[in-house]
Amino acid sequence: MELKDLRGTATSAVDHGLALVRARARRADLIGEMAYRGLDLFHGSLQDVSSAIARLERASRPPARPGRPVNRVAKTSAVHTKARRTAGRATTPARRGVDAATA
C-alpha cells in the first residue's frame, strides 16, 4: 500500500469516527452529553491550536530586506542619451553653422 493510499484511508477513518461521535452527541442521554462535551472541548482546542499556529506563522515571517541602491550612471540607457542630445540641439540658424544674415 502506498503512502498516498494510507493517508487517504486514515483521513476517511477519522471522518467516519467523527461522524459516529457526532451522531452519538445528538442523543439526549448521558453518553450523548459526554460525546457533545468531548466534541466541544476538541473543537475549542483546535481553535486554540490554529490561532497559535497563525501567531507563530506571523512571528516567523522573515523581515523585509532593504532594496539595493540604484546606480544612477547605469540607469540611463544609450537610447535616452542619444535622444537627449538630439533634443538639445537648437534649430536656430546660428547653431546650425549658417550665418543668420544669409539665411
What confidence tens digit (pLDDT) does each residue in 69-89 have?
Answer: 666 665 556 566 666 666 556
Number of independent structural domains in the chain: 1
Rg (C-alpha) for the chain, rounded Å, is 38
The whole domain housing 44 covers 3-59
Q: CA 33 → CA 20, 30, 62, 67, distances in Å?
A: 14, 5, 46, 59
Answer yes or no: is 64 within a domain. no
pLDDT of 101 higher than 80: no
Answer yes or no: is 69 within a domain. no
Does the predicted TM-score (pTM) go above 0.85? no
pLDDT of 45 higher than 80: yes
Task: Say how many residues make up the chain.
Answer: 103
